[in-house]
Amino acid sequence: MPDSSDKAQPHLLNQQTNPQDISAQESVPAPDADSLEITHPDNPLAPVVLEELPPSMQAACARAGWDRLMPVQSLALPYLMDGRDIMIQSRTGSGKTGCYLLPLVPALRPAYTCTQAMVLVPTRELALQVAKQAEVLMEGTGLNIAVLYGGVGYHAQREQLRKGAQLVIGTPGRILDHLLRGTLSLDNLRALVFDEADRMLSIGFYPDMKQVQRYLPKRRIYTSLFSATYPHHVLNLAKEFMLNPCLLSLSQKQVYVAEVQHCFCAVDRMDKDRALIRLIEMENPASAIIFCNTRANVHYVTGVLQGFGYNADELSADQSQNAREDVMRRVREGKVRFLVATDVAARGIDIPALSHVFLYEPPEDHESYIHRAGRTGRANAAGTVISLVDIMERMELDRIARHYSLRLQEIPNPTDDEVAQVVSGRLLTLLESHYRGLTSLQKVRSRRYVELARELASLAEGEESEGTGASLLAMLLDAFHHNTLNELALPSGKKAGRDGGEISSPTKEGEEKKRKSKRRRGKGRDKAQDAAGTQGKPEETREAAPVAETSADTDAGSSAEAGTDAAERQSDRSRRRRRPRRRKSSRSGKADSAQTSPQPQASGIGDD
């Protein structure tokens, strides 16, 4: 995390422009600002128009063919130019790319052939799209751009970095690869951008992002974060990477911040089970509840989810109280990712940080819809409710929406090809991350199969039959995908240490380990004290102890009330007490010899 002492540093753009506080000058209305519901940060700044930008930024807009700023650009640019760490709500197509690229035009220094700004994006397609716009805005400025993403070779990317790229755009996994290989250095980084942070987390990039954090400079880095919604894990991500971030939110039409999105997907009744799986694979929620109207459907949907490899369980009214409590315990422990339930069974349950609710079928009454939707979006966090409806059910859902004045958003029923593309990108991220974690021996072992993999992948489509060629590779990829299907690491909001690791509070398991360790250390100290005390006693004192214990044994054995068992137990305890004393005599010699030998001086971390 950046040092808070650096907070007062002037921003790298302050020599170019200095937006005035909104309280000090009359507000300049932004284009279309009246149609937006805007939540400003503390100490708000006035919107800016194109003519008020520095000349270099105006020239960049002219190269891009922009004759005015988009609303998000007009509102956010003053904060970015003022050097605040800021979270900006935006969706694709709102102008956010130009929003964070424009301030970099005057900020980056062509004379320095080192990485000065980095943009993290979730996918290769978005990386290429951002790079294309950056090339237009930075044309003729002498700035170089490197685009880093997985699934391709390293040679061309290394050449881009070798020439000196002031701006690096890429996915967290491939950027981490270059950092580990030493082909990318972030020592001179001045600005960091997270674009579509919610998608990056849903893909599973969080562990890679935490590894990248270890390579960031320890000084202040100006950071901005863009996301369509701000659920708990996105807010936690901001806490871990940003210094006192402020939030600028815009609400218009289908743009939501810290509220519940009400969506529906029109599907055929006979295709609901597969449509549910496709939506889950596209959304990739950390956890969700799937509501059904009947116990039979609860049981069926649970079986479908489990058949696709998900950690799913059911909650219905015909279960015993103990069974329901056991299910909820495993849900809260994170052992169940998807809970399938009826309305009656789910009354009153509260699952923290639940991001999604799926309605396999609309409820039978209006109030049940509000109850179902209320399971997500708690504590001012964003949530999503997705209803699967056929033609008749759509009519009922519309009546519910009119009754509660809800704004429904239709989402398309994803095709198998669309799901395959999304899942393949997510799988590639996991594979690259898994490969980085291999030991040297494991990498040597895996090289034995490189030629076989090439042979399987080289078969032409017409030459393949089922169970040969690429289908065998697909089988292995599917097995790997399902082995990691329920592993989705998300930010916890803990502060990061200087090495990028989390300083987290111990869990119950960790506490138990600490208690056991303390007990072991305590026993060790007791033995050491006994040994030290015994070695320090005169010879006659050490010899007197066994005599006293023997007499105790005799008294115990002669007692009629204690009996034979008591005498045997007392004798066992006596033998256990004598046994260490026989060992201590041999250890005492070692201790004496150790005291006479020279001791090495302790070396601290800084001595290296």
DSSP-derived 3-state class of residue 565 = helix
Distances (CA, A) of 492 to 325, 433, 557: 26, 20, 62
Rounded to whole angstroms, the Cα distance separating 361 from 269 reads 10
328, two tokens? 């909820």
Q: How much is the mean pLDDT over the chain?
A: 76
67, two tokens? 């004759």
Asked if pLDDT for residue 331 goes beyond 90, the answer is: no
- Read off the pLDDT of residues 159-209 as tens digits, 9 standing for 90 and up: 999 999 999 999 999 999 999 999 999 999 999 999 988 888 878 888 889
Give the pLDDT confidence score for residue 546 in this predicted structure.
39
Residue 296 burial (CB count, 10 A) = 10
Rounded to whole angstroms, the Cα distance separating 234 from 249 reads 14
Q: Tell me phi and psi for residue 305, to 5 degrees.
A: -65, -45
Domain 260-414 matching CATH 3.40.50.300: the answer reads yes
The residue type found at 470 is A
- Read off the pLDDT of residues 4-44 as tens digits, 9 standing for 90 and up: 334 333 344 433 333 333 333 233 333 354 555 677 777 88
Rounded to whole angstroms, the Cα distance separating 305 from 280 reads 10
| Cβ atoms 46, 22 nearer than 8 A | yes
Q: Kindly state which CATH superfamily the domain 4-251 is placed in.
A: P-loop containing nucleotide triphosphate hydrolases (3.40.50.300)
Q: Tell me phi and psi for residue 356, to 5 degrees.
A: -135, 145
4-251 and 260-414 in the same fold:
yes
Give the pLDDT confidence score for residue 111 in this predicted structure.
92
What's this model's pTM, rounded to 2 decimal places?
Answer: 0.64
Distances (CA, A) of 93 to 126, 154, 382: 12, 30, 20
Distance, first Cα to last Cα, the chain: 24
219, two tokens? 């000084």
Asked if pLDDT for residue 387 goes beyond 80, the answer is: yes
Give the pLDDT confidence score for residue 488 in this predicted structure.
67
Rounded to whole angstroms, the Cα distance separating 529 from 49 reads 77
Closest CA to 388 of 345, 356, 418: 356
Cβ-count burial of 195 within 10 angstroms (0-12 exposed, 13-18 middle, 19+ buried)? buried
Give the pLDDT confidence score for residue 605 in this predicted structure.
30
Domain layout of the chain by residue ranges: 4-251, 260-414
